[in-house]
Structure 1
Amino acid sequence: MPSPSPSGPPVLPISEHEDEIVAAVEANPVIVVIGETGSGKSTQLSQILHRRGYTRRGAIAVTQPRRVAAVSVSRRVAQELGVSIGEEVGYAIRFEDRTSEKTKIKYLTDGVLLRESLSNPELKQYSVIILDEAHERSLNTDILLGLMKRLIKHRASDLKVLITSATLDGLKVSNFFSGCPVLNIPGTIFPVEKFYSTDRPTNYIESSLRTAIDIHVKEAPGDVLIFMTGKDDIDKMVSKLEERIQNLEEGSCMDALVLPLHGSLPPEQQVRVFSPAPPNCRRFIVATNVAETSLTVDGVVFVVDCGYVKQRQYNPSTGMYSLDVVEISRVQADQRAGRAGRTRPGKCYRLYPSSIYQKEFLEATIPEIQRTSLAGSVLYLKSLNLPDIDILKFDFLDPPSRESLEDALRQLYLIDAIDESGQITDVGRLMAELPLDPSLSRTLIEANELGCLSQALTVAAVLSAEITLRQTRNKDMEGKRKRQELSDGSGWGDHVQLLQIFESWDQADYDPRWCSEHDLQVRGMKFSKDVRNQLSQIIQKIAKVQQICKQGEDGRVTLTTEN
């Protein structure tokens, strides 16, 4: 095992329960660990099991529902063990793999672990699988819970599964896994004083802004964590907060540093959030709900909670998604407040009345599996070719509606992924090989038939990288104008315009300065280029398989590739 860094791993509450945890793991194939925020479960569990020899016969996989958490937590563990990321400790997220043959502790998104099980259903490379942050009830985690229940029967002698959470109903999960033990690990939580608004503000950004400035001017030192619903709100809040702070009378309060925190933030900016504040300086961290439980930011004493979250909702009757700003649950509100009590007594400013918290907020967040399209998940389960899995009877912790499952089957049938009897088709198997939404996978296959695979690869890559056509700097109208001059395809919709923008960047030899001049995010454009290369490699691999299959029939290969 690598020697720890000079400072060594921090002493966290979970460390005091090491012997109890190891004894439970040794005696049971599955255990549930309920660890309060700040208990150290995400960073220390894997290290405890590594120290106790569980990596001798396989790696430890730790799933995270969010990419940003998988990356940041793995970096933290690598730092504590004194190793470089990608060696003994690594991470894997969609379109990015920082692991090697030496990797013993691997942090990965739940979606990546699902994809790994396509090629290796028994997941033999792992001796321990930890499903972390299970309380978030992401779609992929819920599917993994069902698959782990099945897998334990096949690998009872050489696999350990741990389900960890801050707030999960431990008894419910224990019953799901035939009465497995539940360990409760307390966290170091100081008292948090909660302040409620008298009514709901008409503009939660402005209300959050006023509250943050009041804290800065009147309160003692301590960082402030402000919850917003998404990147757009965060960008507005960061800009307005910096402006207000600059306009404060010089010398009236300490210095301030305003930092965003969201899933699409570049790694070098994420690191700044986890570094201590400079002397005599208060940090304002403006974050999405990624900061509720997935990531812990030390030094936070004050929390500003707008009471909202951005949530994807799917309507199976229309087949359409909507991205809605909805009220948080009481569990989420309590998680947000708890962030103020990590290091000393704190304060939480709730921008809603206590009556709304008590009477309008749901007790817990609705699981994603009950509010999303299941087409991709059903295609994945079909592609496993496991005879004992019946899609309509699959063992879910909270089953989705029959309407949602039937909608998924109907969608897959319409794009030729399954046949009339519900069996996966050859086209469906090709689609399952691609780490994309089924409709995008089908688009690439159809584009190949029509001779425009190259263009379709570009569009799929840019959509996967979540490139937007909005300007990133409000005052830079020149960049916006230049970008509009790039193409004449705006009348054909965003997809054609995105294609033309990427092709113009290609003609500019992928120069980062070109992106800046046209007000496009350099990191996002580079990521789309990497994604396109990876998708092209996957397509080429599939083409080779197809060639082997087709040669025995008519000598022709229908799937070709373009760079």
Structure 2
Amino acid sequence: MAQLPILQFEEKIVETVEKNSIVVIIGETGSGKSTQLSQILHRRGYTKSGSIAVTQPRRVAAVSVSRRVAQELDVKLGEEVGYAIRFEDRTSEKTLIKYLTDGVLLRESLSNPELSQYSVIILDEAHERSLNTDILLGLMKRLIKFRASNLKVLITSATLDGEKVSRFFSNCPILNVPGKLFPVEIQHISERPKSYLEASLKTAMDIHIREPEGDVLIFMTGQDDIEKLVTKLEERIQNLEEGSCMDAIILPLHGSLPPELQVRVFSPPPPSCRRFIVSTNIAETSLTVDGVV
């Protein structure tokens, strides 16, 4: 496994968490914060006195990140590592690291206001600023007064204004973790397209015909646009001459897809085949999809 940037800061993170009840961690996309922070604290014994809760703003992220962590720790999903989203709870008595949506944690706080089952609560992707996340930030501020001795709260984000959050939590420390392991080249089109859907389709096809192997990630605004583009891409690719370029698989990714279809984006493509992943902005910060060039 590639060494993720956050692992170089393990000692600093652990030291800061030991000395402070609340820590803000600003980690760029790709730094590994969603998968590694819980594992770092688990290694350092924080799961002896309770489990670690990691909130995610989206269900897809809660499911896929917990799968990844279970795989890295080589445990069965639903045992030491599990997830809880609306209508689905894959956790057990054994669960030490639990990924859950912020809505699920809010509901848990109604039945157990002190959230006493957790020794660490990590609010991940707090820059998404949903109503749930904002309420949780307020709850954490109150909770830490009651449980200052036996609760740690970490607030992580890719782009959040750390100073503001730190001020809200009486000037708690801020750690910055660099991310982006890959150089990114940005190219803009010269004129504004009449339909960004058609423009995306044309660009995707140009890349498919001209460029060497590597997957393509296309962002659309929502499920409706994703479905339209997937259909058009499939038609275009079927109409190509056989053998004129490599095969392609087209995968949609959005919150309404059933989990078994969502996880397809994490399995590598067959040899000499390109994947087109058509996604909402979930693949921008919550998930990192391997193979995209």
TM-score tier (shorter): over 0.9
Aligned pair 1:159/2:161, yes or no? no
C-alpha displacement of 1:107 = 0.4
Instruction: Determine helix, strand or coil for the equivalent of 2:66.
Output: helix
Q: Distance in 2 between matches of 1:223 and 1:124?
A: 44
In structure 2, what is the equivalent of residue 28 of structure 1?
20
Q: Name which of 271, 274, 287 aligns with 1:279.
A: 271
In structure 2, what is the equivalent of residue 246 of structure 1?
238
Show the 5 A alignment for 1:124-139: 124-139=116-131
Q: Distance in 2 between matches of 1:222 and 1:115?
A: 42
In structure 2, what is the equivalent of residue 183 of structure 1?
175
In structure 2, what residue type is equivalent to 1:14? I
In structure 2, what is the equivalent of residue 11 of structure 1?
3
C-alpha displacement of 1:89 = 0.6
In structure 2, what residue type is equivalent to 1:118? L
In structure 2, what is the equivalent of residue 61 of structure 1?
53
Instruction: Determine helix, strand or coil for the equivalent of 2:235.
Output: helix
Q: Distance in 2 between matches of 1:123 and 1:159?
A: 10
CA RMSD of aligned residues (A): 1.1
Q: Name which of 63, 70, 86 aligns with 1:94.
A: 86
Q: Distance in 2 between matches of 1:31 and 1:220?
A: 44
Name structure 1 gaps, 5 residues minimum: 1-8, 302-563
For residues 437-476 of structure 1, give each alpha carbon's deviation from its aligned partner in whole angstroms, at most 9, with x where no partner exists: xxxxxxxxxxxxxxxxxxxxxxxxxxxxxxxxxxxxxxxx
Name structure 2 gaps, 5 residues minimum: none
Instruction: Determine helix, strand or coil for the equivalent of 2:39.
Output: helix
In structure 2, what is the equivalent of residue 231 of structure 1?
223
In structure 1, what is the equivalent of residue 291 of structure 2?
299
In structure 2, what is the equivalent of residue 110 of structure 1?
102
Q: Distance in 1 between matches of 2:38 and 2:103?
A: 19
Q: Distance in 2 between matches of 1:68 and 1:233?
A: 18
Instruction: Determine helix, strand or coil for the equivalent of 1:211.
Output: helix
Instruction: Determine helix, strand or coil for the equivalent of 1:15.
Output: helix
C-alpha displacement of 1:281 = 1.2
In structure 1, what is the equivalent of residue 164 of structure 2?
172
Q: Distance in 2 between matches of 1:13 and 1:183?
A: 13
Show the 5 A alignment for 1:344-493: none
In structure 2, what residue type is equivalent to 1:172? K
Q: Distance in 1 between matches of 2:262 and 2:245?
A: 26
Instruction: Determine helix, strand or coil for the equivalent of 1:300.
Output: coil
Instruction: Determine helix, strand or coil for the equivalent of 2:23.
Output: strand
Q: Which has the higher contact order (CA 8 A, sep 6+)?
A: 2
In structure 2, what residue type is equivalent to 1:100? S
C-alpha displacement of 1:249 = 2.2
Q: Distance in 1 between matches of 2:87 and 2:209?
A: 44
Q: Name which of 84, 89, 92 aligns with 2:76.
A: 84
C-alpha displacement of 1:226 = 0.4
Aligned pair 1:201/2:198, yes or no? no
In structure 2, what is the equivalent of residue 497 of structure 1?
none
In structure 2, what is the equivalent of residue 41 of structure 1?
33
TM-score by length of 2: 0.97
Instruction: Determine helix, strand or coil for the equivalent of 1:48.
Output: helix
Instruction: Determine helix, strand or coil for the equivalent of 2:99.
Output: strand
C-alpha displacement of 1:10 = 5.1
Among all aligned residue pairs of Structure 1 and Structure 2, give the percentage whose two residues are the same amino acid.
Answer: 80
Q: Distance in 1 between matches of 2:92 and 2:191?
A: 54
C-alpha displacement of 1:136 = 0.6
Q: Name which of 254, 257, 262 aligns with 1:265.
A: 257
Q: Distance in 1 between matches of 2:249 and 2:34?
A: 27
In structure 1, what residue type is equivalent to 2:198? E
Q: Distance in 1 between matches of 2:262 and 2:155?
A: 26
Q: Distance in 2 between matches of 1:272 and 1:122?
A: 37
In structure 1, what residue type is equivalent to 2:24? V
In structure 1, what is the equivalent of residue 65 of structure 2?
73
In structure 2, what is the equivalent of residue 398 of structure 1?
none
Bigger share in helix? 1
Q: Distance in 2 between matches of 1:86 and 1:213?
A: 40
Instruction: Determine helix, strand or coil for the equivalent of 1:91.
Output: strand
Q: Distance in 2 between matches of 1:32 and 1:99?
A: 27
C-alpha displacement of 1:11 = 2.5
Instruction: Determine helix, strand or coil for the equivalent of 1:233.
Output: helix
Tell me the matched-pair count. 293
C-alpha displacement of 1:200 = 2.4
Q: Distance in 2 between matches of 1:169 and 1:105?
A: 27
Q: Distance in 1 between matches of 2:273 and 2:151?
A: 48
Instruction: Determine helix, strand or coil for the equivalent of 1:86.
Output: coil
Q: Distance in 2 between matches of 1:17 and 1:230?
A: 36
In structure 1, what is the equivalent of residue 141 of structure 2?
149
C-alpha displacement of 1:189 = 3.3
Q: Distance in 2 between matches of 1:103 and 1:193?
A: 41
